[in-house]
Amino acid sequence: MVKSPKILAAGDVAQLLDVTYQYIDKLVQEGRLPYQQTSSGRIFMEEDVMAFKRERDKKAKTDARIKRKR
């Protein structure tokens, strides 16, 4: 059985990353978070968001400016 990719809305991404919707906008504008534009707005692939989160968590270990929940 082939698993379909999970699609997330911007609000879901903000909640998953524990950031504001405005920060999601900034990440998109900077090209740091991939997305797809649809007629109803932006959508994000869960695997892209999780890859971003893993990278951010890895950087947070060495960069005190990056805050994360423990």
CA distance 12 to 22: 13
Check: CB of residue 9 under 8 Å from CB of residue 16: no
**Residue 28: per-residue pLDDT:** 96
- Ranges under pLDDT 70 in the chain: 66-70
Return the exposure string of 20-37: e unless at least 16 CB atoms fall within 10 Å of the residue's CB, then b: eeeebeebbeeeebebee
Domain 7-60, CATH number (from 1.10.1660.10, 3.40.20.10, 3.40.50.300, 3.40.50.1370) = 1.10.1660.10
**Considering only CA atoms, which of 52, 60, 54 is closest in space to residue 35?**
52
**Residue 69: per-residue pLDDT:** 58
